[in-house]
A and B are shown apart, each in its own frame.
Chain A
Amino acid sequence: MNGAVAMVGDPDDLSTAYMRWLAGERGLDVLGLDESRLGLDWWFAAGDGPTGARLVVDGKTVAPTAVTGCFVRLNPRPAVPVALDEPEAAVFIRERRAGIHEFLERVPWMVVNRPTAGRGNGSKPFHMAMLVRQGFDVPEWLVVNDPRRAAAFAALFRDGCVYKACSGLRSRVRLADDALLKRLATPTTPVVMQRFVPGHDVRLHVIGPNHAATSVSSTGVDYRFDECETSYEPVAAPDEVASRCVEFARRSSLILAGFDFRVDPDGRWWCLEVNPVPTFLPYEAATGHPIGELVLDVMAPHSTRRRARSVLAL
């Protein structure tokens, strides 16, 4: 085996399945390193002392240098292979996940992406403050659970506000309305309120030094979740925006990143967030952007791409 790639984490993840198929199309050997099977079908040893790095897959030793890159998608609720009571299962899952992280930090591979990269996205206010420092235009925002201050903030903006969770959980974006103020009138966790930007959405994927942007027109507030009419088209991002995205991803050690923008009627690009584990299949399928191929170019630079346009494009 030489110049292989690995799929790490959840083999049932759609993006992982697609990347595995693409790798096979290029004639690459693919190692499946299922998180839930660590210690059963595969394991590794590494260290600072005399023990050299060693990877065993299906009973065979694989030299870490035989693999050039890996694609990582971890299941938020990974399976436990043995029967464990709930508290023990939670401890085991955490220990195993940390072991996977250590493994991915130590392998000499192009890891797409290392779990430590882009973690700030787990706190939206922290993340948005970072985006502002990096020079992105970010719509005004406030973290608040006081209904009077929430109402005062919303009143500042002619087009009103949206609101969302502060973490990545229950991440649907909604218009701030009287129902929100009523909810904030009882003790509750804060929300992020943000000026609503009229216009349309753009998802810009960065893949190493490359980028691919998709314009999204939708009748909903949050096209990812709302049942609404949505259309996708490829679009060219302004050079300044694209280069800022590529640089941000590089500094964040993200090889693959999904930047979400709102573009207002004046053509100004407002950055909402950067997703370190972006779902790219719908955008690739709708536009023909060869995002998966570009990722594989980074993971296996010695291999030959078979097509310039995505096979998923209709």
Chain B
Amino acid sequence: MPRQQTCTVVVGDVDADPLIPALTDVLSRYRESVALIDPTQLAASCLCAGGDHLDIDGRHVTGIIFRAWPGTLSGEEFVEDDADFAAGEARAVWLHALALPTVVAVNRGDEETWFSPSDWSVWRRRFIAGGVACSPLEFGDVDDVNRRWYPWAGGLTMPPPMSARRAMASAMAAAPVGEPILVCGDRLIGGASDTADELIAVFRHYGVILAGAVVDSAGRVVTATALPYVPAAAAVAVANAIDAELKVSR
């Protein structure tokens, strides 16, 4: 029986994400096959998965780098009535793919963040439980004096009116914001945090290799995400770090 070709899959938008071209270039040097998949094109790929394997277009997938928001996988190639359903199906399938024991994933899928309307709030609870120093937040009916608003969907902006704060139980913080940090494997890229070791340990525990965090001026974590924006200037360094992680993990 001929040996099935193996494949590393990169899921993301090559035009919008500076990391994607750097990744495909680095990964292609050593691997049998690297496939780039647009997250909106699930139906265009021929897929077969069980509890211990994943094949895409006839190739056995051994690695996945997933760079898309699970809640915004759109079914663009479907008619309008089916688009939401197709997006939901894509979300379900990719979570399973990222959790397979036979796949090295960046990052490993976990159901709590995957289906949450706010992944950073899930991470924050995990950080507090893991001893990571976190910036104090207030929620809901609090005054907005000298505070910044951290919307549940991500970002940072000025506080909304009180009526809206009550209706959304908005998260607000008073501490000034520091530099954003990137976590890749066991190191930080950019920024600093006194709680870096604990932060990395929590991410590792949940199978997250590439992540980002917003810290305050005292180095305490405010929010975090497993889908950080990687600027073009850092793309090659991050791609090499991911490559190194994939080699260690095999």
**Chain A residues close to B by CB (< 8 Å):** 38-40, 43-49, 51, 54, 56, 81, 91-92, 94-103, 105-106, 116, 119-120, 122-126, 128-129, 132, 141-146, 149, 165-170, 187-190
Task: State whether A125 touches B49 (Cβ < 8 A).
Answer: yes
Smallest CB-CB separation from B165: which chain A residue?
A39
| Contact partners of A49 in chain B: CB under 8 A | 136-138, 174
CB B195 to nearest CB in A, in angstroms, measures: 15
> Out of A94, A119, A169, which one reaches B114, CB within 8 Å?
A119
Provide 6 A-B residue pairs closer than 8 Å at the C-beta atoms, listed in order of the A residue. A95-B170, A123-B114, A165-B85, A168-B88, A190-B49, A190-B93
A91 adjacent to B46 (CB under 8 Å): no
For chain B, give the interface size range. Answer: 35 or more
Residues of A within 8 A of B43 (CB): 145, 187-189
Residues of chain B touching chain A, judged by Cβ–Cβ distance below 8 Å, are 42-44, 46-51, 75, 77, 84-86, 88-93, 95-96, 99-100, 109, 111-112, 114-118, 121-122, 125, 134, 136-142, 151-153, 163-171, 174
A252 shortest CB reach to chain B, Å? 10
Within the assembled complex, what's the spacing in Å between the Cα atoms of A146 and B59?
A: 13
Does the CB pair A187–B47 fall under 8 Å? no
Residues of B within 8 A of A96 (CB): 167-169
Contact B47 A46, beta carbon cutoff 8 Å? no
Closest Cβ of chain A: how far from B57's Cβ, in Å? 9
Main SS of chain A's interface residues?
mixed
Q: Beyond the given A106-B139, A125-B49, A189-B75, could you list 19 further A-B residue pairs with CB under 8 A, ordered by the A residue number?
A: A39-B164, A44-B139, A45-B139, A46-B138, A47-B137, A48-B134, A48-B137, A96-B167, A122-B114, A123-B93, A123-B95, A132-B51, A142-B49, A145-B46, A146-B46, A169-B85, A187-B43, A190-B89, A190-B93
Residues of B within 8 A of A98 (CB): 116-118, 121, 152-153, 168-169
The answer on a CB contact under 8 Å between A124 and B92 is yes
B114 touches A166 (CB 8 A): no
